[in-house]
Every structure is written in structure tokens, then in C-alpha cells.
Amino acid sequence: MLLRFLGSRIAFGVLVLFVLSIFVFVLFYIAPGDPARVIAGDKATEALLVQIRENLGLNRPMYEQYWIFITNLLQGDLGYSYRSQLAVTEIVASRIPVTMSLVFGAVVLWLALGVPIGIASARKPGSFRDRAGQTFAIVGISFPTFVLGMMALYVLFFLPTRAGITLFPPSGYSPIEDGIGQWAWHLLLPWATLALVSAAIYARLTRGQMLEVLGEDYIRTARAKGLTERRVVYRHALRSAMPPLVTQLGTDVGLMLGGAIVIEQVFGLPGLGRLAVTAVENQDRPVVIGIVLLGGLFVVTINIIIDTLYALMDSRIRTSA
């Protein structure tokens, strides 16, 4: 049963990636502009352009080009960047650690911040604590990430630096291999920015879920048994309030791994999102296609992992699939 469930989820994941690949491929096929010219530059001779089109198969019909693209893709070959002539897989792989560092650090922070705030709110709805938590949540949700990031850079980096105090390093990334301290120091502001905005969403979600669960009969039973409030809230209620949170987390992490585009742009982090923006500006099609597909792969994989976890925990899901 579990295998069949897993099989259907994977099949759907493959379908998503297939549709995505057609989407980007057709999109760039119909795009104006001549890739040969992007590669060779403005001063290229006609003969050179013809040669490049021949080599890349750009003069063949669309379905043939797609077929070549897909067969190469299945062999792990995403082609070469029009700009740097490097393999797309290599370029993309070099950016993954940056985005992963950014996303996973931020996830830890925002869960540590958002979930307790949500729980505290739900335990005493209407209290001062709850209103404070909800105010934090609604302001955080309304704050566009790039606005918060730019304000944080100005107040916490620029003003102190001008005054001669170095609180934070200038934007950029320091690889984890060069020392974990430098790595974390460089990522602290981007983490905090991303975490504050997302923590607000999770605080709201946690509060809503917890309020629902805390009204259930079995919670009353647990209290009636004489369990401590702490045990009731954290053991009994939180456990049932978790699934929607985990689903949301999966979606968010999946999407961000494909590039926390805005945050990377604001803080000058050379991750996948920044790469995507530069590649789009440079009309570097193979790189854009590579990132979009990788982004899709992240989303699909994480969704499959989460669905499988649910299926393992709850047999009803398995049978309904």
C-alpha cells in the first residue's frame, strides 16, 4: 500500500517536472532574440552564427530540439551557459551551498520564533500576550522582505559602520569551509530578515491550529486526567496541530531552495536566486532553464517526502490515495 502511494506521488512529481520543462522550453523557443548572437556577441560573422546554430541544433524543428534537450537532461547534462561557456550543472551546483545556508539557517530561526509565539497566543486568547503576538504577526506578514532587508542594512550595517562600529560585514557570502564564525556572521542579517517575515506567518498558523485543537474533547479528557498544562499543550495539542504547519514548511522550503531571490538580491548573496536574475537579464537560457527545473525538483522532492511522512503516520491517507 505504501509503495503504491509512494509510486503515485513520484509519478505526479515527474509529471510536474515534465510540464515545467515543456513550459520553459517552449517559452524560450518562442522568445525573440537569437541565442547564437548572445553567444558570439554583436561583431560575429554570419558564418560563425550559422556554425553555432548548427552545433547547438538551433536550426532544427522544436520537437527535435526538445528531444535532444530531454535526452541530455536525463544524462545529467543541462548544456552550457551562453555567457561563460561553463557547464550549467557546474554553475548551478556552485550556488547551491549559498542558498541552502541561507534557507536552513532562516528556517531554524523562524520556527524557534514563530511557533512559540503562536502557542503562547493560543493558550490565552484575547490576553495581552495574544494581542502582542498577533500584532507582531500581522506587521510581519505585511512587511515585504526587500523593504525589511534594506531597512535592516541601513540601520544595522550602514549607520554603525559610518560611526566607526562594525556590527555586520558588508554584503556578500563567506563559505562555511572558511570558518563557521565568518559564515554565520555574514548570514546573520539575511537570516534575521527572512526569519522575521516568515515567523509571523508561522505564528499565525500555529495560533489558529492550536486554538482549534485545544477545543477538542480529548484535550479536555487529558486535562481531566490531571495532566500538567505543559504536558497537555506540548504533548497532546501540539502534536495534532503540527501537520498543516509541516505542509506549509515543506512548500516554503521547497520554493526558497529554488532561490530566495529577493533576499539574495538585497544582501548580495551569490545563491541560486541571484544567479536566476542575472541569467534572465543576460538572456542566458540554459542557465535559466536549469534553475527553474532545479527549483521544481526541490519543490516536488520535499512534497513527496512530506506526503510520505504523513502516510507513514496515518494509514487513512495511504488508502485514499
Partner 1 sequence: MIGFRTPRQAAVLAEQASGDVVVVQRGSASLTLRRLAQDPTSIVAAGFIIALVMFAIFAPIVAQLTGHLPNQQFRTLGLSPAGIPVAPSADFVFGTDHLGRDVMVRLAYGARVSLLVGVLASLLAAAIGIIIGTIAGYFGGRTDTILSRIMDLAMSVPFLLCAISLVSVLGPSLQLSTGVIVFFTWTPIGRVIRGQVLALRQREFVEAARSLGSSHASIMLRDILPNLMVPIIIYTTLMIPAAIVFEATLSFLGMGIVPPDASWGGMLSEAAGNSIYLAAPWLVLIPGVALLLTTLAFNLLGDGLRDALDPQAARKA
CB of 218 to partner 1, least distance (A): 18
Residue 270 CB, shortest distance to partner 1, in Å, is: 16
Question: Segment contacting partner 1 (CB under 8 A): 97-105, 186-194, 252-260, 308-316?
Answer: 252-260
**Which grid coordinates belong to 247?**
505542509
Which amino acid is it at 81?
S
- Half-sphere exposure (Cβ direction) of 320: Cα atoms closer than 13 Å: 7
Based on the shown chain and the rule CB under 8 A, indicate whether residue 125 belongs to the binding site for partner 1.
Answer: yes
What is the pattern of x (binds partner 1, CB under 8 A) and - over residues 271-290? -----xx--xx-x----x--
CB of 21 to partner 1, least distance (A): 12
Q: How far is the CB of 149 from partner 1 (least distance, A)?
A: 9
Contact mark string toward partner 1, 14..53, x via CB under 8 A: -xx--xx--xx--xx-xxx---------------------
Decide: 49 and 37 in contact? Cβ < 8 Å.
yes
Indicate whether 144 belongs to the interface with partner 1 (CB under 8 A).
yes
Q: For partner 1, how many residues bind (rule: CB under 8 A)?
A: 55
Closer residue to partner 1 in complex, CB, 13/133:
13
Cβ–Cβ under 8 Å, residues 143 and 197: yes
Bridge partners (DSSP) of residue 80 are 87
Q: Compute the chain's Rg from CA coordinates.
A: 24
Judged by beta carbon, residue 173 or residue 183, the one nearer partner 1 is 173
CB 62 within 8 A of CB 238: no
State how far the Cα of 75 lies from the Cα of 73, in Å rounded to an integer.
Answer: 5
Taking the complex as a whole, the smallest distance from the CB of residue 318 to partner 1 amounts, in Å, to 18
Contact in structure between 301 and 185 (CB atoms under 8 Å): no
